[in-house]
Structure 1
Amino acid sequence: MIRYNKRCDSVWPIELGLDVFTEAIKLPEQKYIPLRHAPSVVDTRVAIVGAGPTGISLAARLWHMGLGDSFVLLDERTTFAESFVSRLIAVGQHVMRSPYHHHLAPDGDITLAAFGRLHWSELAASERRQLDLARLSERSLPSARLFVDHMYHIISAHHLARSAFQFRVTDVHRDGQYWMLCDDQNRVVRAESVVFAMGQISSMTSWTGTLIDPLSPNTSSGNHGNLVGVVGAGNTAGHVILNEVRAGYRVLWFVREDERYSCTDVPHRFFRDEGIADYLRQPLSLRRKVLQEAFLGSCMPEHYRLFKAFKAHNLVTVVNKPVVNVAQARDLQKVICSDSRVYLCSHVYNATGLKPSPLPRIMPDIATAGGYPVLHDTTLESVTAPNIFFAGIHSALSLGPASKLIDGTRLAAERILPAIRSRLLTDSIATSSHNYKFAIFGRMHAIGGMDVKTGEDLDETIAATRS
């Protein structure tokens, strides 16, 4: 069965977006912005664990609050957003699912659409058409490379590389008023507040055969015969299928239940005040059911139009049965479904989606429900561990299904950062709290033309003026 959700925030037909899927748009490039080597002890006021899109956006927003010297970014990888960008490249994802108005920049920064207009001459024709749709407030799909370039601009404009360390957090424990974050090299980061922004990882199913993980950076469409298998019903599967057909292969698409197509990963109502309010009125047990239903994978509406044509030409064949095993059969892969039918493929892609990254050991234990931390709804702070906050997918019990998407970062920041700022501001910082920084095209400014000053600096300035 095909489930096609036609509810899109657009009056224009979906066909306007097909060219951005079919035109040869460049994939994003992984830019190496190295994370610093952490010393044996780091003291900070806020530790953000995760230097992916969510961590980058939260750090930029703290910078705007005048707390640019009060946080560090920690990540086990060697560069910013390494997992996120390598996943886009490995899957061959040319187009973002989130629209132009869902991006990582804080208010006051250059938006994704404005960044695209700034680089208009570098855009392909289909990218320009999508940008025109964004200006009309219609559904618009930015290219993955433009989104990633905008993300790198945010890193540069807010000087985040100065505060980012390669540091794999293994243990977190309380020591007086501080949280101690430890790694496997006996290094310690001591922080007053901790924000976990760790994102998601590949949800691999254990089978005995040789499988290709489409999220692996080493994935490539090499010489693997004419028939490939793709297991999974979500957006990753959609992009893998599209790229395999482009490369001249036929695809067996293994879907557990139904083919699902939708504009967004989760319903639009969960981004709006009324939808969020309805969600928060539910007890935790019902919230978990809402998350389970909302997190079911789906392809994009553009995939539906393209796959319909592929099926008509026998380029894609759907098998609506759960896969129970994939086994080696000489030089082929044997896909065994729940009805005992066997399908032979040259290679099989495991595109069964993502799952939350495992959290480090936190002592004392934090309260969880269904694998998600239990948080205060208004601040996304752990109910059992003061000054430990969660953004991204780990905040789902309180933030709702939007937590896994790009715009979920904005919603998380609106709850987390005011709470952190109110606790961290000293009298001297509070004196100048009205001087917020903002960055445009990589330049630093401050409201009123003044740099952000400490209370002592302001006192000296006032005294000099009076004299």
Structure 2
Amino acid sequence: MKFINDCDSVLNNEINSEIMKFDRNSFFNNIEELPVLQNKVEMNSKTDLVIIGTGMVGITLAARAWHLGFKGDRITLIDGNEYFAENFFRRTKNSEQKIMRSSFIHHVAPNEDINLADFTRLKHNELTNIEKEQLTLARMGERSLPSLDIFLEHVKHVVINHNLHKRAFKFSADSIEQNTTGKWIISDSEGQKIESKYVVLAMGQSPKENMYKEHSINAHVDNFKNYLNEKVKTVNIIGGGNTSAHIVKSCLDRNLKVNWIIRNEENYACTDIPHKYWRDEGYLKFSQMTLDKRMEEIKRIYKGSAMLEHKGIFDDYKKDNALTVFDNATIQEIDKNKTIILQNKTRVESDLIISTIGFELKKLPQIKNGINTFNGFPVLNDSTLEAEGLKNLFIASSHSALSLGPAAKNIDGARIASERIFKELAKREGIEKYNVKNILENLTNWSRNTPVLKK
């Protein structure tokens, strides 16, 4: 078992598992609270910037673009989902996750906006004592974990205060093609098109196909709680990542016996991506690697881990024999009785099998001009994230990992990507990014020196 307590903490504060147990009426609990995408029939046929994807990365990019003047008819967001951040919401709510793994410094708002910690202060009287403690740590620059619902409230705030919900449409991009004038034409399967000077792909990951689908449910797609009933006493959970750990805890909290089956070593870590990859020290080292070495590093880093806070809770359940961990385990077969047979012939019986075997790169739209790839990742300009040989086509999120590094798939990786992409777009558009007058004119309402009105 690994326990990696490398949290960039000056105080080296002890891990407090109590934060995983906090309870109150949520600020943000239903998917209907998320901003909705508009009907594509209302979408303009021409724009300056199209961002494909309305998840955390797409929101971050669009908010950054807003500050550079890409607003109103100049920007369009498209996605096949109904809501902003829909996949993130479903995944975290389905696993009953209550606490963000990433700290307060990782959020979707640009630097000009109110940050997550200051936004949380506005709700100070509604916070639990544990949340107040975390907020205090955040203001000290220490590792601190926000609650999921406050994070989602902040995401909603960023969307609405940049009017992104008025510029986002339900439109599934099927293909992309650059015409003879250099403009990009994005088409869906029904033949509707949108023309744009710039395109940014921010499509992220999708759940891997469940290789055990005949005998198990895929927790990234299905809500495991819908499969629990009075007959289910023992659950086998496959996968060693953060989603898996939250489901393990949820089942244990329901007094179920859990067998946790992990392909690699049982692993608890402060973050799923080492801190150095959020900073120049990580970028520099990664950028000096060959593409082969970069791929090796990405695969090494992307192995799943649980939060540090899970360990104390799981240790207690192990002592009570409610939780049994089978790590470094290879599944040989699963029989019709929900029994998993491991390669070493160990039989692990259960009443329900839940698979959480992770994610893979989402399939990109067909790029008719062709795109260079390496081991499935697009080859990009490291400095700008522009696709090699495809002018004005930029790629962020997980697909940019070969250039951006392992942090590409995470929330703060989106902020790093937005700086690289829009630094280049600002140059091409002749925008003086750091012009004080320009910044002041483009602040959101929350950033102005105006009083906060009470309800």
Residue number in structure 1 paired with 2:59: 56
Percent of aligned pairs sharing the same letter: 33
CA contact (8 A) 2:15 2:309 kept: no
After TM superposition, the structure 1 = structure 2 runs for residues 24-423 of structure 1, keeping only pairs within 5 Å, are 24-25=23-24, 28-29=28-29, 30=31, 31-39=33-41, 42-69=45-72, 70-176=74-180, 177-207=182-212, 209-216=214-221, 218-220=223-225, 222-223=228-229, 224-320=231-327, 321-329=329-337, 333-423=338-428
Which digits, 9 at most, give the CA deviation of each residue in 1:69-125, with x for residues without a partner? 311100001111111111110111111111001111111211100011001122222
Q: Structure 2: how far apart are the matches of 1:158 and 1:240?
A: 35
- Between 35-44 and 339-348, report the one with greater CA deviation: 35-44
Unmatched 5+ stretches in structure 2: 451-455
Residue number in structure 1 paired with 2:19: 20
CA contact (8 A) 1:178 1:191 kept: yes
Aligned CA distance change for structure 1 residues 8 and 49 (closer, same or farther; 3 Å): same
Superposed displacement of residue 426, structure 1: 8.7
Structure label with greater radius of gyration: 1
CA contact (8 A) 2:235 2:351 kept: yes
Tell me the SS of whatever aligns to 1:63: helix
Cα RMSD for the two superposed structures: 2.1
Q: Structure 2: how far apart are the matches of 1:199 and 1:134?
A: 28
Aligned CA distance change for structure 1 residues 244 and 189 (closer, same or farther; 3 Å): same
- Between 273-282 and 20-29, report the one with greater CA deviation: 20-29
Tell me the SS of whatever aligns to 1:441: helix
Superposed displacement of residue 184, structure 1: 1.2
Which digits, 9 at most, give the CA deviation of each residue in 1:33-86, with x for residues without a partner? 221112376211110000111111111111111221311100001111111111
Aligned length: 438
Tell me the SS of whatever aligns to 2:420: helix
TM-score w.r.t. the length of structure 1 is 0.89
Q: Structure 2: how far apart are the matches of 1:426 and 1:44?
A: 18
Aligned CA distance change for structure 1 residues 421 and 175 (closer, same or farther; 3 Å): same
Superposed displacement of residue 159, structure 1: 0.8
CA contact (8 A) 2:174 2:189 kept: yes
Residue number in structure 1 paired with 2:2: 3
Unmatched 5+ stretches in structure 1: 446-467
Which digits, 9 at most, give the CA deviation of each residue in 1:357-393, with x for residues without a partner? 1111111221111111100000001012211111111
Q: Structure 2: how far apart are the matches of 1:336 and 1:174?
A: 52
